[in-house]
Amino acid sequence: MKRIITMQVLFISLTIAAGSSLTGCATTGAERATKATNTMQTVESDYRQVSMQVDATNASLQELINLNQIDMKKALDNYNTNVTRMQKLGKRLDKNTADMNAQGQNYFSEWEKQGNSYTNPQIRQLSEERRLQLRSVFSEIPEASIGVKGSLHSYIADISEIQRYLSTDLTSKGVEAITPVAQKAEQDGENLKTSVRPVLAAIDHAKTAMTQGGANSGAAAGGALPAGQPTNEPQNGGQQPETK
């Protein structure tokens, strides 16, 4: 009797394990897509905050170099606060961008492995076509980001050096001397905001493609197709073959 009960428990355990394994495989692709799009959302938010912080930093810098400024100490403190915020945003954006790229690489790498495991050549071809389509869309993000990272770091370096300079020499002569450099930094900040727009557009495009495409290519990416979703397998003239 004890032996029968033990065998029953073992059978139930194996059944649950097999079911869990199948469920995990069916959702792995969707989970990776979610992780990738979540990191895109984070980077998108960072870029938007960078643009807003550029406005705040430039405004505080303009107040600081204003010849009619009465409370220079207060103006400097306000500028220092905004510079610190911009520095933190820059570091956070660098980290989150690296995470986004890593998640994207993992998503497409695992998709490729899954695609290579198919024995049906039509399914394998469909998987590869969809993977290349979405990878092309995802690659628009780094392409649009060319030069943006350098511009951001340059802007942060300039406002940080202006901060150190004015912390040492906050006299009217000191402010007058640094004004041309400050004005150039302000313009560089405006140019940075302009260069961010294509990056935001590329991220939005990739998020949309991976979200909508993920439903249609869930099986190809290692996930399950939703109920009622066509398999996208090629048919003869779009019709089912006749049963003989």
Q: What is the pTM of this model?
A: 0.75
Write the pLDDT tens digit of every residue in 38-73: 999 999 999 999 999 999 999 999 999 998 999 999
Taking the C-alpha atoms of residue 215 and residue 29, their distance in angstroms, rounded to an integer, is: 10
Q: Where are the domains of the chain?
A: 29-212
| Residues whose CB falls within 8 Å of the CB of residue 159, separated by 6 or more in sequence, listed in order | 57, 61, 83, 86, 185, 189
> What is the predicted pLDDT for the residue at 35?
87
Taking the C-alpha atoms of residue 43 and residue 39, their distance in angstroms, rounded to an integer, is: 6
Write the pLDDT tens digit of every residue in 180-206: 999 999 999 999 999 999 999 999 999
Cα–Cα–Cα angle for 143, 34, 231, nearest 5°?
95
